[in-house]
Every structure is written in C-alpha cells, then in structure tokens.
A and B are shown apart, each in its own frame.
Chain A
C-alpha cells in the first residue's frame, strides 16, 4: 500500500485532481513522507515546498490546494476528526495552512486517500466529487454564488446526505484574502485565505464519501487502548467542567488577566465581557453540542441567535469569534456575536480576520482616515449593522469592501495616515484573540508563528501567567517547545484540545502510534518531525517572500509603543528592545541565524539537505 513503510494508519494513496482538465490520478503514498513528515501538516508542507515554486501567484493556476489526513485521523481515539488544508497563502504570500474539525479526513481515508491535491484552475465553476475510488470534476455553476451553509445543504440534497463536504462562500469566489473553507454547517479552515485559492480555481466544493476500513496495525490492541484513552478523558475533571461552554469558557479568564482584544486592540479588557461569555452562550442561545469525529469533549456549540435583522442557526460562537467580533468590534450581546458569526459563515469569511478587519476600519473611521463617503455609511464600534455591512461589502468586494478584502496590512498601505501602526497583523495575517502586551511568550508566539499572527502554534499565554507576566526569562524556550508539540497534533491528524483543555496526557499518543501504524517511534522522534516541518515551512516562506525573517517577525507599532490604557494589564507593553532580545534568544535556540534564517547546519541536521542547498547554495 505505501512502500511497506507502515502497516496501518494510512490509506496509502495520494489523489491528484486537475480541476481544469477534469482528470485525476492516484499515486502511492511515499514511504519517505511517512517517515519524515508523518501526515497532515507534514504532508502539506512537504508537497507545497516541493511543488509550488517561488514566484507562484497564490491566486494563479500554479498554486495548489492540499488536503491531508494524519495517521490517527478517523481512528477510534479521542479527537480524531482533524483535517489539514494548505496552499501558498494569498494573505501573506508565504506558507499557508489551516486546520478544520469535523469528519473530512476520516471520510477521505475511508475513500482510499490520505492526501488530496487540487491542481490547475477551471474556467467555470466546478465541484470535485470523490466517491470511494470514483473521482469526478463536475459542473458546479448551480452552487456558485450560494452561501456556504446554503451550498452544503444543496450538495447533500443532490449527492446524498452521507457525503462530507468542504465548500467556499461568496468571499472565496470573490478572492477575499481571508476567505475560509467551510464544512459540516459551521466548521471552518479559517486562516490564511485558502478559500480564496479554491475560488481562484473555481472549485466551489469538495464532496467525499468513503466506505473502506482504515487499516490498523493491531486492531485488537487499538480497540482496547482506545477504550482506555476514552476512559482517561471521562475521568478528567475538565471533561465535565470544560465541555459545557467549550472554548467560549475562556472568555472570563482572558478578560480577568487583561488579554482580551477590545476596540481594535486599543485595550485588552472589555467591560461587558460577561454579556458574551460561555455562560451566556450556554444559557441564552445554545441548542446542541456538535462534536468532531471521535471527540469526547465537543466544543462545537450549535446555537440559535436572534437579533433585530432576523434569527440564524449557527455553530458557535467559539472563543476566537467572541474575541474578534465581540470584544474587538465591541458587540456586547451574545446574540449579536452569534448572528455576525452566522453571516461570516454563510459568506465564507474567517471570523478572526473579518472581525479584525472590521475593527480596523472602524478605528480608521473614528480617526477620520476613512470618510462616510468612502465607507458608504457611518460605522461605529458596538453597532451590529455597521459590522454586518462591512462583512457583506468585503465578501462582495463592493466599494469599501474591495479596499478591505486584502486584509488590514494591504488596507493600511492604501489608507496611509499612520494606520499601519494599528493594523494588527504579522506578515499580513490578522492577529487573533489574545492581546499580548503583558504576555511576552504569547507576543513572541504571534511574532514567530509560521503562517503569520496565529495563536494555535504556541498558546503560551498560560505560561506567561504561570511564570510571571513581565518576565522574559524562559519564554523563548517555552515558545519553541510549544511550536513543536502543538503542530505535531496537526501532523498526527488529531485534536489538541483533549490535552490542552482537560489535561489528557501526551504519553497516550506515543503508546497509540505503534498500534495504529506498526511503527514504534518515540515522542522525541515525533517532535523531531515537527521541528523538521517547522523549518520547512519557514524555508518555504523565506524563498517566497522577500524580507521574511527578523524584520517581519514583529508585532505592529501599537503593541511596542502604546502601553495598555486600562484594565488588568494597564500600563504594560513590550518594547522594541525587549522584542529584539526575545528574538535573539529564540533564533539561537532554533539554530537559526540572527536574521531568522535556518542555518545550513540545522537544516542538514534535520535531513533537509535539499532545503539547505536552496537557501545557502
């Protein structure tokens, strides 16, 4: 099945689809990929590095969209529903990837494939249908223009309820650079604009149905260890305490420590946070929990949000949406946040970037850098119609929406007037739900995350709180450690929240890996894989984006020069000198040079000799 490199865990095949020509072909999953990159994010990074050369237009036909499962995806163990998408990012121009929960990767593996690669571009809208071994590229015009949820509903009606579907909305069709991919009525691969890459290929949807068994090296052993893993989750206090509110439950804590994005990150405390927290979500709008494949702690909260404009079923809002549309746009009503979440979901906008961009526009308007004439109406923080207006204009690329559809970095370059100081992004990717002026490890995490400002590579803010908010010592070490542990879950194809949120022990993964794959590898071996992938994605971006390095590993000026004005973090910031010192230590720990480039020695040590040649000749 796969060069004999693994006895189980992999379907053993890679599916390539030429969406323009409509043809597809199947390749054996290379054993080298399994050994050096494991799966998921590792496969995405390897494929993009090898097959998308520098100079490629992210929205041109030579970019590729990769969807990959990990060896643990779809297996009977906690949180096995994760899928990894990747492409050269239209938001940053560098390596882009985004993770999604639900049921896609299990279905892909049951259809016979670990990896799907979409190549080329269609002239007219298409859908890609994978039904076990039968692959087809079909006309998709009847779905084009529909919202994500509307289109998914129609596709399930037309193809069958048992298809798992990934779909883009109008934002993706219109090449908005923070367009997401949607699945299962409200889950998203939100970040880095991969929805726009699908849109550029005229691919409205990917529909998958599979019936094959996912091979296991030791089915009986896995069954028994899997049961133990579930029982271990059930016995954790967090199983009962964390699950009812899901990720929204962290809203109170983030405000209490002064790290909640508020008013376009002007401050880090939203006085009305108790109106949009997990308790309000659970009590006021929640209908049912919605879990990914194999999940014992479903964080998906399916809700019904009611506002003056109407009512909407929505999965969420989860914490990031509460932070970026709630706090950052100052919406102080869980119904309003939920409804705005729904509008983004239907349009196919990443709620994180969309909230950040809307907040940026509202601050520009307050400061007179955007006029009522330019915007088309008055806009204001705390006003739901303003926020919805901006989202809809962006998705349609109409008027002000066209200016904002490139994200805050591109918009600030056009608006000028010093707006780049409060365009809250790193490398063109909008910042997410943790204001970090009083959290050096978290600030360093955002500055150095491989896709731009994103929290999930290293959610180090708990370490800042535990170790001392103002302290710099030990912070780079923790960031490097987390940047290897957390993305490893994305290689394995499982969710990290069992570990992060309820304290499920990491040792389980080392124990379960050989039962699934037949390969005995240590946790340290797996971390080495993760470090290899981290260096590979860094090298990709260095080769694709001039200046990707130290000069771009930095937060916006607001965070380095304006102390937090109020709330629990009042008066704090991290200076440019402190940031520089954090980076010096971080690069040294990584074996990178002072400009943030992986050294030849480090790359060769990781078995990336070809990459070393590309970077150093």
Chain B
C-alpha cells in the first residue's frame, strides 16, 4: 500500500475523511480524519490533498521514541506518548492529527480506506494502480483495482 494523490481529481467531498475517522475511531467526524483536504478558492480553484507518506519526520522529532515502524508504517505508541506535540509541529504535511476527543496525536496507518472510497480516484494505492490510470478512473476508462467489487 502506497498512497499517492492527484489533486486535480479531488472534488473536496471529504469522503476520505469521513471513512478514515469511522475506520480508525468509529467516529462520524471528518475532523478526526488523518488526512487533509485544503480548498484553494476562489482562485486558482482547486483542492489540495495531503496524505501521510510515512516520511519519518514525526518519529525523528519524538523525544520519547513513541513512534515506531512496522513494515514501513509508522505508528504511535500511546503508552509512551507524552502529548508534547513535537511530532505535530514536525509533520511537513500537517497530517499528524490532534482532536480534543482523542488522547494523543494520531497518524495514518495506511489502512487504505480513503483510497478505496475516494469517488474520483484522486487518492489511490500506487502499488496497485498506475498514476495514469488513477486519472482515467473518473472517465470510466479503467476499472478500479482497489476495494471489493468496485471494478467492472
């Protein structure tokens, strides 16, 4: 699983954030989504998608080594986290997520739900979908390859 994005396909519908929060926290709350959608309106008129690319800046910034890697995915050990927020400040994409109802900063664990339910193909799993195919998904030229029963 490798999340990639095509900003030009994003419609700002926030299905990704809705499904993310339900998948990870069982909360219907897009504000808990572990990725960001930023609108640039009225000009130039496009959305920007920010997903975690597991770059490691959060791990490097953590003073108590609460962020660890398993199979290329960085996770937060909440038993070690002191909520110092150093990881939040260090995240270059602004996707280390905090919320009043969540005990510690949260991050993407590559569950893939966002890519599976993005209606436009703007977020996709680059391990299974080629970039040029993600673009073509909305035009109906290729079947989706992620998710159960989405394809033709």
Q: Do A and B come from one complex?
A: yes
Q: How far is the CB of B106 from chain A (nearest CB, A)?
A: 14
In the complex formed, the residue of B with least CB distance to A212 is: B29
**Inter-chain contact B28/A241, CB cutoff 8 Å:** no
- A residues within 8 A CB of B119? 230, 233-234, 291, 295-298
A297 to B41, CA, bound (A): 20
Q: How far is the CB of B9 from chain A (nearest CB, A)?
A: 8
**Inter-chain contact A287/B26, CB cutoff 8 Å:** no
**Inter-chain contact B45/A291, CB cutoff 8 Å:** no
**Which of B19, B41, B43 is A227 in contact with, Cβ under 8 Å?**
B19
Most chain B Cβ neighbours within 10 Å, of A106, A233, A241, A294 = A294
A235 to B148, CA, bound (A): 11
**Which of B10, B42, B138, B150 is A153 in contact with, Cβ under 8 Å?**
B42
A291 to B47, CA, bound (A): 11
Stretch at the interface among B57-65, B76-84, B123-131, B139-147: B139-147
Q: Tell me, yes or no, whether A220 is within 8 Å of chain B by CB.
A: yes
**Inter-chain contact A295/B11, CB cutoff 8 Å:** yes
- A-contacting residues, B24-68, CB 8 Å: 26-32, 38-39, 41-47
Contact mask for chain A residues 295-319; partner B; CB cutoff 8 A; 1 contact, 0 none: 1111010101000000001000000
**Inter-chain contact B14/A293, CB cutoff 8 Å:** yes
Q: Tell me, yes or no, whether A519 is within 8 Å of chain B by CB.
A: no
Q: How far is the CB of A124 from chain B (nearest CB, A)?
A: 27
- A residues within 8 A CB of B28? 74-76, 213-216, 219, 222
A161 to B22, CA, bound (A): 24
**Inter-chain contact B27/A219, CB cutoff 8 Å:** yes
**Inter-chain contact A313/B13, CB cutoff 8 Å:** no
**Inter-chain contact A313/B42, CB cutoff 8 Å:** yes
Q: Tell me, yes or no, whether A231 is within 8 Å of chain B by CB.
A: yes
Q: Tell me, yes or no, whether A10 is within 8 Å of chain B by CB.
A: no
**Inter-chain contact A230/B117, CB cutoff 8 Å:** yes
Assuming the contacts A76-B18, A222-B28, A223-B22, asked whether A288 and B47 have C-beta atoms less than 8 A apart, the reply is: yes
**Inter-chain contact A222/B22, CB cutoff 8 Å:** yes
Q: How far is the CB of A428 from chain B (nearest CB, A)?
A: 32
**Inter-chain contact A231/B149, CB cutoff 8 Å:** yes
Assuming the contacts A76-B22, A153-B42, A222-B22, asked whether A214 and B15 have C-beta atoms less than 8 A apart, the reply is: no
A231 to B10, CA, bound (A): 18
**Inter-chain contact B27/A304, CB cutoff 8 Å:** no
Q: Tell me, yes or no, whether B70 is within 8 Å of chain A by CB.
A: no
Q: How far is the CB of A147 from chain B (nearest CB, A)?
A: 10
Q: What count of chain B residues pass the 8 Å CB interface test?
A: 42
A222 to B14, CA, bound (A): 17
Assuming the contacts A74-B28, A76-B22, A213-B27, asked whether A298 and B45 have C-beta atoms less than 8 A apart, the reply is: no
- A residues within 8 A CB of B22? 76, 219, 222-223, 226
Q: Tell me, yes or no, whether A374 is within 8 Å of chain B by CB.
A: no
**Inter-chain contact B13/A294, CB cutoff 8 Å:** yes
Q: Tell me, yes or no, whether A244 is within 8 Å of chain B by CB.
A: yes
Q: Tell me, yes or no, whether A83 is within 8 Å of chain B by CB.
A: no
**Inter-chain contact A313/B45, CB cutoff 8 Å:** yes
- A residues within 8 A CB of B72? none
**Inter-chain contact A76/B19, CB cutoff 8 Å:** yes
Q: Tell me, yes or no, whether B92 is within 8 Å of chain A by CB.
A: no
Q: How far is the CB of A598 from chain B (nearest CB, A)?
A: 38
**Which of A212, A243, A244, A287 is B45 in contact with, Cβ under 8 Å?**
A287
A227 to B111, CA, bound (A): 14
**Inter-chain contact A220/B11, CB cutoff 8 Å:** no
- B residues within 8 A CB of A289? 9, 11, 120
Assuming the contacts A185-B42, A243-B138, A313-B45, asked whether A296 and B144 have C-beta atoms less than 8 A apart, the reply is: no
Having A76-B28, A110-B31, A211-B31, one finds 12 other A-B pairs with CB under 8 Å, namely A74-B30, A76-B18, A149-B42, A211-B100, A213-B28, A223-B26, A230-B119, A288-B46, A294-B13, A297-B119, A298-B119, A313-B45
A-B residue pairs in contact (CB < 8 Å), sample of 17:
A74-B28, A74-B30, A110-B31, A186-B42, A211-B29, A212-B29, A223-B26, A230-B119, A231-B147, A240-B138, A288-B10, A292-B13, A294-B13, A295-B11, A295-B15, A296-B119, A313-B43
B interface residues (Cβ-Cβ under 8 A, vs A): 8-15, 18-19, 22-23, 26-32, 38-39, 41-47, 99-101, 117, 119-120, 138-140, 144, 147-150
Which are the 9 A-B pairs with shortest beta-carbon distances? Answer: A240-B140, A291-B11, A291-B13, A296-B119, A298-B11, A213-B29, A289-B11, A76-B18, A185-B41
